Amino acid sequence: MKKIVVFASGSGTNAENIIKYFKGSAIGEVVGVYTNNANAGVIDRAKNNAVPVTIFTKLELYESELLQNINAIQPDLIVLAGFLLKFPDAIITAYPDKIINIHPALLPKYGGKGMYGMHVHKAVVENKEKETGITIHYVNENYDEGATIFQKQVTVLGTDTPEVVAEKIHELEQKYFPGVVEDLLKSKS
C-alpha cells in the first residue's frame, strides 16, 4: 500500500477529494495531512475522514523536526493541494520526484511567488485569456517551475468573472487530480 501525505493551507477541498478517492483503494491511502494554518478548513475535513493532522508553523517547516516527522512515515508521494508556502529544500532533496503540486493555471503562465487562487484567476481575466486550466507538476526549489506531469485546459469566455473562472478550475481539480495521483503511484511500483 502506497502512502500519501497531503500539505494544504486552506479549505481542503482538493485534499478531501484525494482522501475520499483512495478510501478503500488497494493502491494507496492518505496517511497524514499537514497544514501551516491552525484555522484551515482542511483540518476538519481530514479529521472527519479519520486522517491524522499535523499543524506546524512557518519556522517549523524549515527546521529538521518536520522532515524527521515525514521520514518516520516514509511517504511514497507528497501532494501539495493548495499549500501556499515555498516548500523547503531539505524535504525536496530527501524526496526527489516524490513531491507534486497543483497550480490553477497553465504553467508557465501565471506561476511564481504570489500567484495562487484568485490572484491567478483575476490575472487570467484581466489579460483576456481565451483559455486557462490546471497544471500538476513536480516540486523543485523554485515556485511552479518543476517538470509538468499533467495539464488540462478550459475555455475562458469574455463574460467570465474571476469567480466563474475559479469554479471552472475547481471542477478540473476535482475531476483530474486524484487520478493523476493514482497514476503516479502506479508508475512508482
> Which residues are tagged catalytic?
103
Residue 36, marked binder? no
- Distance between CA atoms of residues 67 and 147, nearest Å: 23
Residue 175, marked binder? no
Residue 112, marked binder? no
- Distance between CA atoms of residues 116 and 27, nearest Å: 30
Residue 58, marked binder? yes
DSSP 129: -
152: three-class secondary structure by DSSP: strand
Residue 32, marked binder? no
Q: Which residue has the cell 506546524?
A: 56
In the numeric block, which cell numbers belong to residue 64? 529538521
- Distance between CA atoms of residues 53 and 5, nearest Å: 10
Q: Which residue has the cell 499537514?
A: 34
Which among 185, 188, 187 has a CA at the least distance from the CA of 28? 185
With b for 16 or more beta-carbon neighbours within 10 A and e for fewer, the 63-87 pattern comes to eeebbeebeeeebbbbbbbbbeeeb
User: Where is the binding site for (6R)-10-formyltetrahydrofolate, in residues?
Assistant: 58, 101
User: Where is the binding site, in residues?
Assistant: 12-14, 58, 101
